Structure 1
Amino acid sequence: MPTISELSDVLDWAAVTALRAIDERDGAGLDALVDATGLDRERVANRCQQLSTLGLVTETEVDGGTVYEVTGSGHGAIGSGLYDEYDLVGEADLDELAAQVAELLERRDELQAQVEDLERDAVELRERAELQFGDRADVSEEFESLLADVKSLERALDEG
């Protein structure tokens, strides 16, 4: 039997997705696998053939077509962490990721508002400093540097 490393070199995520669908259903035909994986029929058939050639699944002919089942070697590979080698994302994971993305976007919006407040405060403070200190070069340089940093933050947030 090939090692997990060797299987990782040969199998792509579509093959592992098909294997997982077969495993979760304790065997399945091509139509069920197409429905379960969302992959096109030709791709599923190709990956099932690949899995069969590697000895990870067996093919049994029945009246309705071919049924694929995970072999002992397939279960061994799965138990040894084959799925862990691939970033397979399930429905629950997608919901969690969507919530995290929404939270990050909200935090970015809050940061943008804070940066805008910071810019307004810096401009206001510069105006007050100019009234108090006049045209001192060192004071002007400090405020220009501060405003450049604020603009840099704005650009970074806009690009993110």
Structure 2
Amino acid sequence: MVIPSWLGRFDTQPDKVDALGKVGQRRDAPARIAQELSPGVKALVGRLDLTRVLPSQLIQVAQGLCREGFMSLDVYYQFRDATRDMDGKPRAEVPLDLLREVREGTRQAQAISRKSGDYRAEKYHAEFRLSAHGLAYLAASIKGLRLVDVRV
């Protein structure tokens, strides 16, 4: 299996990936997904900037995509957890850089997996990373941006 450069190096591939983060999907796939979205969710995703996103805005987008079947429930829970602090309480309404947090979480999951020899954490986080990448492409597609190089 070819691992795309944006995916990074994973010792294991995710078991299942939702429609936003299919391995090996073409660059025009987000445009096709955008055509299938309801107008409300499309407007929410169109206003999305994953480098400065409010937690409440991220949850609304994730709920809409999950409800319409473009995001798995497991990945939705990961997006929800990204908007919470270590105690499980909602974060303050300040913008967060989701792409940076996904990168850091991937490094931590890889380190834990290599240290313990159990690659489930890495597999689980790979699904989240692929979906975050797909969401970034989807937002760019709705905004009309054609060439986007998103390193997630």
TM-score, normalisation: structure 1:
0.26
Which one has a larger percent strand, Structure 1 or Structure 2? 1
**Relative contact order, CA 8 A, sep 6+: which one is greater?**
2
Which one has a larger percent helix, Structure 1 or Structure 2? 1
Larger radius of gyration: 1
